[in-house]
Amino acid sequence: MENNISLLDGIGNTPIAHIRLNNNYGFYAKLEGLNPFGSMKDRAASYILLNKTKDGTINKETKIIESSSGNFGIALSATCQILGYKYICVIDPNIIEINKKIMELFGADLRLVKRADSNGTYQNARIEYVENFLRNNSNVYWTNQYDNDLIVKSYYPLAKEIITQVPDLTHVYIPISTCGTIAGLSTYLKAINNSIKIIAVDVEGSKIFNKASKVNCNFPGMGSGIIPKNLSKAKIDDIVIVSDSDCIENCRYLLKNGILCGASSGGVTAAIKKNELKHSFNDIIVGIFPDRGERYLNNLYNEKWCKDKIISSYPLLT
């Protein structure tokens, strides 16, 4: 018997869990890693492709292209499989092997950009590849995650869920990279209640709030080598910059709560801890946990990698 139920219908309605940081201080973690393809980016991928299918911009002959080596690339790969689209994913040598493997399994056509930019990263070179591809091919659709109103809107349901789960929330901590999530969440939440405070969490070595920074982001997820256009659509009250070692340390703390999550969730936890003195007893805090941790077993959760790459003095896992 045939029916119309799709895995895409399982996107969203993720659980929320309370994390205690000390006796009187804690927050609610929105566990976006429990989306079907493993991250909050599932929302953006399905929303954009379903909308563009509906308005006729894309059809079965269209090639979908994006520069992404992380969660958005995986979400697009899986969504394109389900909807029957060809997906071209532009990657660089820094891609994590497991992400590459997952995208390959989901049938993505991976295009490797080997030439680094003048700042030693590949972000601009990957975008240049996409722009060239668009110039030289017809019937190609670029999801353009750095500047896309549909992606911003795709996070309105996430905001709605948070308001339903934590009706009295006062502060939301959001890790940033393309700034699509923070633009969507802040627009929706401030429209409902302008006094809700939005805190952006970025990582040292990102250019988003520090143009002079030498780009050096060790984990996929947080941080960016360019300033995304989505940033101008975000309503941000405060910014916290965390380090890679903050992410490592806090991801290990979260394991004690039964949560195996990605680096940026550790970063959010670190940011909430850093801001403890700014909060009052009555504040109700939500932190966005974008993904789960299995894809980070060879870096974030590998003690040798952490020791060699991040800080040689980092204590080994016990």
Ligand X SMILES: Cc1ncc(COP(=O)(O)O)c(C=O)c1O
Residues contributing to the site for ligand X (CB under 6 A): 39, 41, 70-72, 175-182, 221-222, 262, 264, 290-291
Supply the minimum distance, in Å, between the C-beta of residue 109 and ligand X: 20
Supply the minimum distance, in Å, between the C-beta of residue 163 and ligand X: 19
220 to 109, 153, 192: CA distances (angstroms): 20, 23, 32
Supply the minimum distance, in Å, between the C-beta of residue 139 and ligand X: 27
Supply the minimum distance, in Å, between the C-beta of residue 52 and ligand X: 19
Supply the minimum distance, in Å, between the C-beta of residue 285 and ligand X: 18
Supply the minimum distance, in Å, between the C-beta of residue 8 and ligand X: 19
Q: Which is nearer to ligand X, 67 or 196 (CB)?
A: 67
Q: Which is nearer to ligand X, 96 or 116 (CB)?
A: 96
Q: Which is nearer to ligand X, 62 or 124 (CB)?
A: 124
Q: Which is nearer to ligand X, 206 or 306 (CB)?
A: 206
* Tokens at 117, concatenated: 């930019």
Q: Which is nearer to ligand X, 246 or 291 (CB)?
A: 291
* Residue in the shown chain whose Cβ atom is closest to ligand X: 221
Supply the minimum distance, in Å, between the C-beta of residue 7 and ligand X: 20
Q: Which is nearer to ligand X, 41 or 52 (CB)?
A: 41
Q: Which is nearer to ligand X, 28 or 296 (CB)?
A: 296
